[in-house]
Amino acid sequence: MTSKSISVLRKIAGPFYVNRRLLGYYWERLQKNKLSIAGLGFILFLAIVGIFGPLFTQDPTKADLEVPNMPPPGFTRQESIYNIKTNDFTNRTIEGGLTHPLGTDSKGRDMLAMLVSGARISLFVGLLATGIAVFLGTFIGVLSAYLGGWVDNALMRFTDIMMTFPFFLLLVLIVFIFGSSLAIIVLVIGLTGWTGAARLIRSEALSLRTRDFITASKALGASDTRIMFNHLIPNVISLVIVMASLSIPGVIMAEAALSFIGLGDPTSTSWGTILNAGQHSLETAWWVAVEPGIMLFLTVLAFNFFGDGLRDAFDPKASI
């Protein structure tokens, strides 16, 4: 990395990187919100599980027809087996065992392994797609606000069009043409999801633009790019962080929804895929649908709590 890009990075992350006191101040404010800390804890847990979990779990795609629909330990499942010789049904009870701590699905795949793989995919899609969306949104918002005039008009009308464009339809179309892969899902969500961010950042940058320090910078002879990168973007960055953390759950849900309706990446096991499989065997094996459901629920909740906490911590007017 060149020293110039380091210095730009330092400016953007400046107050957090250089000013430990400011970082400490935000951390202290964040800590007052217990739910937010719990959310952060869950997110970190999920990240560790997603990154290192697959090293320890079984292969999530390995089917084992010896143990289909095995319940988690402590639960039992009644099964009637038709005996062709006696032309009779024999009932047997299947008990969960520690070999599959969260049970198995109808093909005998290990639920724990699948959930861990799902965590990895959810976080990957959530972070990357949000990253793309927020990056685009910040750039377009700041550009729009700072340059104003016809640029602003053009960009904002383009944003309006993107906002009303049915993103699901676009995705179905693209999946139909190119086939589905994680990269395509990430790109489509990222490239269509920046509109809200762009508007929010624009409104913030508009009010910043009229502040004296921007005029002062202009009066010093600073170029427009310099003002945008060194003054506007660093000043909207806390808003960007909050927005990102609050929009990750939406992206995770979108990916799950896509996988649920069968438009997900066929080669990977995401929570949506498991949910889809689980809905067919709800009567025999409830845990197949319930477990990814709980994970989705907790993950979305965690990001929302954390995002709310961040927003309050960054907002000097919020009393906490």
Partner 1 sequence: MNTSGILRIENLKKYYQVTAGLFSKKVGDVRAVDDVSLHIKQGEVLGLVGESGCGKSTLGKTIMRLEEPTSGEIYFDGTDVIKMGKQELRRLRGKIQIVFQDPDSSLDPRMTVGDCIDEALIVHDIKNPDTRNAKVAELLEKVGLEAGFAQRYPHEFSGGQRQRIGIARALAMDPKLVIADEPVSALDVSVQAQVLNLMMDIKEKDGLAYLFISHDLSVVKYISDRVAIMYLGKIVELAGKHEFFNNPLHPYTEALLSAIVSLRPDGKEKIILKGDVPSPLNPPSGCRFHTRCHKVMPVCSQKEPEFREITKDHYTACHLY
Residues in contact with partner 1 by CB under 8 A are 11, 14-15, 18-19, 22, 211-213, 215-223, 226, 230-231, 234-235, 237
Closest-CA residue to 255 (of 69, 103, 123) = 123
Residues 6 or more apart whose CB falls under 8 angstroms from that of 32 comprise: 320
- Cross-strand partners of 95: 76
Smallest distance from partner 1 to CB 26, Å: 13
Distance between CA 318 and CA 320 in Å, rounded? 6
Cβ–Cβ < 8 Å for 201, 239: yes
Distance between CA 3 and CA 153 in Å, rounded? 36
Smallest distance from partner 1 to CB 30, Å: 19
Residue 66 or 212 with smaller CB distance to partner 1: 212
Smallest distance from partner 1 to CB 140, Å: 21
DSSP SS3 for 248? helix
Residue 9 or 48 with smaller CB distance to partner 1: 9
Smallest distance from partner 1 to CB 275, Å: 43
Smallest distance from partner 1 to CB 233, Å: 9
Residue 62 or 226 with smaller CB distance to partner 1: 226
Residue 62 or 211 with smaller CB distance to partner 1: 211
Residue 25 or 178 with smaller CB distance to partner 1: 25
Distance between CA 53 and CA 102 in Å, rounded? 14
Q: Which amino acid is at 44?
A: L
Cβ–Cβ < 8 Å for 141, 198: yes
- Exposed e or buried b for every residue in 131-157, given b needs 16+ CB within 10 A? ebbbebbbbbbbbbbbeeeeebeebbe
Distance between CA 195 and CA 124 in Å, rounded? 21
Smallest distance from partner 1 to CB 11, Å: 7
Residue 22 or 173 with smaller CB distance to partner 1: 22
Residue 77 or 218 with smaller CB distance to partner 1: 218
Residues 6 or more apart whose CB falls under 8 angstroms from that of 23 comprise: 15, 16
Smallest distance from partner 1 to CB 220, Å: 5
